[in-house]
Amino acid sequence: MVAVESECLDEAPPGQVVNPVGGGEGQRRPPELPGTAGSGGVVEHLITVAEAEAMQEIGRRQCCLTAADDQDVRVVLDVDGVRGGPVHRRGAARRGVRHLTTLSWLGSTVSSVGLAPMIHSTTDGAVVTIELDRIDKRNALNEEMLTGLADAFGAAVEAGARAIVVTGRGPVFSAGADLSGPVYDPGFLDKLVSTLHRIESTPVPVIAALNGSAIGGGLQLAMAADLRVMAPDAIAAIPAARLGVAVDEWTIRRLVSLVGAGQARGMLIGCDPLNADRAHTLGFANRIGDLADAQHWASTIADLAPLTLQHYKLVLNGDGARDTAPEDRVAAMVRAWQSDDMAEGRAARTEKRPPRFVGH
């Protein structure tokens, strides 16, 4: 167990004295902290944010902490318990902390804590599962969540994952961009594009387990994955035309390569949803199933030759989706985002009424 900042231990019973990372006075180590009963977890080290950032290894464990600055953080994470064991946390969303991740060697649990936390990562063998967790917002995407998602993919690869599953908690995979936030700002769009590229360029196979609806940006996340497993009641849709905005060239080209030109036209121009059965028939969904099915498939893929799979990913992703778009098409997308219709779509959503688009 790793304790960050001494106040974590205030309520813990006295125990052995251990040397904190970076020197200083020894701290009392309790035999077991509240909330970790049955996990066998004990505090091994007491660290500050700055020390955690510099730390490479704690015994058999690795710890990586990314913070906005070096302010103290009050966090206790159990990384020594059995798989699925509890995460004991106090005050994780405090004072400028952007993301905290504890990584164990493959075979043990990986726990991830962010501001909300919005992203959770667990590992089983060589498979890392990354979960979106904004259930109250239907896993809608904002910049913070996208940053955590990209970080989680990077951490999984760095820890030696051979396959990654990305899914959503609750009944929805992702409802897309969080329209209540600054999603109309260039910063959000840049972050979305960079996160999609991070997922697509991940050197190990990525499976999107669509536990429910994947709408707009949520569908884009699924399309950045290599494979997709859809729950029987899941749907996929890109309703950008109902909002007065437009998706980028990569999204359109990748959608065509995954579902075919006819279906893509229906989804983009007609805002038609794609159900799981149809998605499976078209090949967009490789399998119908749940998260457990996706994880089992990932575990079999993790045993395959990594260099072969990397070659396949490079070739399959070279479908032209990332070719530079002609200037006139880029201008057309920008025109939509800067239009009166975009403002009307935004206002209509706020006022809970149908939009009245006029074409400028």
Average pLDDT, stretch 176-187?
A: 85
Token reading at 311: 């070659």
Average pLDDT, stretch 200-213?
A: 98
Most confident of 18-32, 96-110, 245-259: 245-259
Residue 294: what pLDDT? 99
> Is pLDDT larger for residue 331 or for residue 97?
331
Residue 107: what pLDDT? 33
Is the pLDDT reported for residue 223 higher than 50?
yes
Is the pLDDT reported for residue 90 higher than 50?
no
Q: Which residues contact 111 (CB under 8 A, 6 or more apart)?
A: 77, 78, 79, 87, 101, 102, 120, 121, 122
Is the pLDDT reported for residue 339 higher than 90?
yes
Compute the mean pLDDT over every residue in the chain, rounded to the nearest whole number: 76
Average pLDDT, stretch 213-226?
A: 98
Per-residue CA distances from 100 to 93, 188, 195, 344, 349 (Å)? 10, 22, 18, 39, 35
Is the pLDDT reported for residue 233 higher than 70?
yes
Q: How far apart are CA 181 and CA 137, in angstroms?
A: 11
> pLDDT of 49-74, one tens digit each?
343 333 333 322 333 333 333 333 33
Is the pLDDT reported for residue 311 higher than 60?
yes
Domain 118-323 indexed as CATH 3.10.620.30: no
The residues spanned by each domain of the chain are 1-102, 118-323
Q: How far apart are CA 291 and CA 297, in angstroms?
A: 10
Most confident of 87-91, 102-106, 234-238: 234-238
Residue 181: what pLDDT? 80
